[in-house]
Structure 1
């Protein structure tokens, strides 16, 4: 069995329509770029197609909490690297961490944690992950070395930069 990557990475270019009057990426668009990148990364690296799961099984994940800290602005036409990883999971939820870096990965522009709850679309309530999903999550899980809160994680990163 092949070892799956635990940290996924892709690039994006900041688009004009996503920027504010200062040509910086609008705050809400950071989330859009990160979610779009994670969706593509899951598909490209694991053939994990969330839309197919929703159509076939009536199951998906909904955002229960999103925390984001902006460290450096992302600018119009700039290339950014988006790195994501599953830092925690339970029987019915996931916690994904994402960094948006500059192209050379010398500055973290933003850090985001997103808690996702597994959700049964028809029943409109949370749903436990299958055994198969739990095994998959175990393979891609990349826990943090310390038991951080989001604020402590951001503060630790700020000290490094």
Structure 2
């Protein structure tokens, strides 16, 4: 995350025992679930949630760098920030860190969200409420 990046959300989460895989650490697919939960928490703070009868967001790409395994039990923090704000898309950077030591980085990367026209499936302009939420 760059110093000028707009922080969208920083939220704690508890790692659940059921998130573990056979190697006794959090399964890589669960990282995507943690990030999805954080994005949904952020979207709930956006007026209208960036949704209306005409447009809605979809995930177009996800890039995750797995830096170190998360072992159970653990308390983590998911940080979301604006990486790139486009005409029809938003790149949301993310970091997953240890709650007790924010220098312990488990994962970083970004997700590209594209707003689409519900009727045509084509890219649509980002709603103004989303743009405004990204500038706070």
TM-score by shorter chain over 0.5: yes
Unaligned runs of 5+ in 2: 1-5
User: Quick check: 1:31 aligned with 2:27?
Assistant: no
Q: Name whichever structure is richer in strand by fraction.
A: 2
CA RMSD of aligned residues (A): 2.1
Partner of 2:3: none
Alignment of 1:45-84 (within 5 A): 46-48=45-47, 50=49, 53-54=50-51, 56-84=52-80
Q: What is the aligned residue count?
A: 130
- Shift in Å at residue 110 of structure 1? 0.2
Unaligned runs of 5+ in 1: 1-5, 141-161
Q: Structure 2: how far apart are the matches of 1:47 and 1:134?
A: 6
Give every structure 1 segment of 4 or more consecutive aligned residues whose post-TM-superposition deviation is greater than 6 Å.
none
State the TM-score, normalizing by the size of structure 1: 0.71
- Shift in Å at residue 138 of structure 1? 5.3
Cα displacement string for residues 74-126 of structure 1 (whole angstroms, at most 9, x for unaligned residues):
12231001111111111100000000001121211000211111112232221
Deviation larger for 99-108 or 34-43: 34-43
Q: Name whichever structure is richer in helix by fraction.
A: 1
- Shift in Å at residue 17 of structure 1? 1.7
Quick one: which of 100, 115, 119 aligns to 2:116? Answer: 119
Partner of 1:87: 83
Note closer, same or farther for the CA distance 1:49–1:12 as it changes in structure 2 (3 Å cut).
farther
